[in-house]
Amino acid sequence: MKPYRPYPPYQPYLAFVSFVSFVSFVAPLFAASSTPSLPTTPSIVERAFTAAYNLDHGEATALLDQAIAANPEDADAHRAAAIVAWLRIGFLRGSITVDDYLGSVSKPNINMLPPPPDQAERFHRHIARALQLAEAEVARRPRDPDAHFRLGAAVGTQASYGATVEGKILASFRSARRAYDAHETVLELDPSRKDAGLIVGTYRYVVSALSLPVRVMAYVAGFGGGKERGLAMIEEAAAYSSLSQTDARFALLLLYNRERRFDDAMRIVRRLQEQFPRNRQLWYEGGATLIRAGHYEQADAMLSEGIRRRDADRRERMFGEDALWHYKRGVARSHLGRFEAAYGDLQVALTQEAREWVRGRAHAELGRIAFTHGNREQARVHYRQALELAGRGNDPTGEAEARTLLRSVR
C-alpha cells in the first residue's frame, strides 16, 4: 500500500480540500465488495441501494438494518447504512441537486445547517464500524484488492460527509487522500477493477479544475490530475458491472453538465429515469440540464411532467422542493416569452420554503422579466434582492450574475 504522505500546512489547501463536497451525493461510494461475508447480504444491500435511489429512504434503512442484523461484521452493509443516513441529511437540507455542485470547485454552494441529530448519530456509528472492519481486513490481507477497496470506500465516504455536512475541511482532506491512495492500490493490485476508478478519476478531474498554485500543491500531496484521464476513468466505472456503476452514472451527470456535454448528460438522465422511475428528482435534473443546453421547450415539458409526478407522489418532499421545481420551470418559460406563466412559477419560488440561492435566482429572473417590459426600477429592486440572497446563500455564481445585471440598469 502507498505510504501515507504528510501534507504541508499551507493555507491554500483550504481551497483545495473543499473539493470533497464536489463529489458528494453524486458519487456516494455505495459500492460493495464482490466477496461479502454472507451470501444473503449482497442482495439485501443491493435492494437497499435501489430503494435509496428511488427516494424510499425508510425502506432502504430497514433493509440495511436487516443486513447488519444478519451479519454484524459486514463492512459494506455498515457503510451503506451510513451513506443512506447521509443522503437523508442532504434530502432534508434540500442540497442533493447538480445545481449545488456546478459552481467553483473551491467554493461550492453547500448548505451547512446542522444535520438532524438522529441521522448524524446513525452516520457516525455505522461509518466508524465500517472503517474499523475495513482496516482490520487490510491488516489481515494487505494484498487483497477487495480489502483496499472497502477501506477507500469507507474513508472516502467519511471525507465527503465531513466536508459537506460538518465543514471539517482539513480532517476531510486527510480522509480524501487516504481514499485516493487506497483505490489507486486497488488498481495496482487488479487493473480490471474499473469500479476503483470512480474515486481516483473523480479526484483527478477535480484537481485539474483547481488554480495552478493549489493544483501544484495537490500534486505534491500525492493527488494525480488530468481532466481527460479522470473523466475516462469515471466513464469506465459507469460501464463496469458493479454496485458502484450507478454512482458513476450520477457522477457523469454532474461532470457532463460541467463540461457542457448536455447530450451526454441527457443520455445519463434518461437511463437513470428508466432505472429509478420513483425518483422524481431525475425529472428535475433532466429539465435543469435542458435549460443549460438552451432547449427551453423540452425543459418546460420535462419539468411539467416532473411536477405532475411530484403532485401524485404522497411521500415526503425534499426541503425547498416545490420552490426549486417552479423556479426552474419559470426560467424555461421566461426564455420562451411566456411571461405570465413564468411569473406565476417564480412567485411560487418566493412564497414557498426555499434555499436562499433559489430565492435569489428567482428574483434575478423576475428582474429580467421586468427589464424586458421596460420597468427598470422594478428590475433594479429584484436584482438587489438577488444580490443579497446570493450572498447569504453562498451562491458565488448567482452573486456574480446579480452584480452584472444590477450594473446593466444603473
DSSP letters, 266-313, are: HHHHHHHHHH-TT-THHHHHHHHHHHHTT-HHHHHHHHHHHHHHHHH-
CB atoms within 10 A of CB 305: 14
φ and ψ at residue 375, rounded to 5 degrees: -95, 85
Q: What is the pLDDT of residue 208?
A: 77
Task: With a cut of 70, list the residues of the chain below it in pLDDT.
Answer: 1-42, 103-113, 169-172, 211-223
Q: What is the pLDDT of residue 36?
A: 38
CA distances 52 to 115, 133, 358, Å, are 18, 24, 25
Q: What is the pLDDT of residue 96?
A: 84
The 8-class DSSP code of residue 240 comes to S
Taking phi first (over 0 means left), then psi (-120 to 50 degrees means alpha), and beta for anything else, what does residue 29 get?
left
Question: Looking at this protein, which amino acid is placed at residue 308?
Answer: R
Cell, residue 107: 467554493
404 vs 240: CA distance, rounded Å: 44
Question: Looking at this protein, which amino acid is placed at residue 15?
Answer: A
Helices 169-189 and 145-161, interaxial angle, to 10°? Answer: 160
Q: What is the pLDDT of residue 24?
A: 39
The 8-class DSSP code of residue 323 comes to H
Q: What is the CA radius of gyration of the chain?
A: 21
CA distances 324 to 127, 319, 392, Å, are 31, 9, 17
352 vs 60: CA distance, rounded Å: 29
Q: Among candidates 234, 273, 263, which has minimal Cα distance to 251?
A: 234
3-state secondary structure of 393: coil
Q: What is the pLDDT of residue 307?
A: 98
pTM: 0.87
Question: Looking at this protein, which amino acid is placed at residue 358?
Answer: V
Cell, residue 177: 487522500
Length of the chain: 410
CA distances 81 to 61, 95, 114, 155, 163, Å, are 7, 19, 20, 14, 19
CB atoms within 10 A of CB 239: 11
147 vs 154: CA distance, rounded Å: 11
Q: What is the pLDDT of residue 29?
A: 34
Ordered structural domains, the chain, with CATH: 13-195 (no CATH), 278-408 (1.25.40.10)
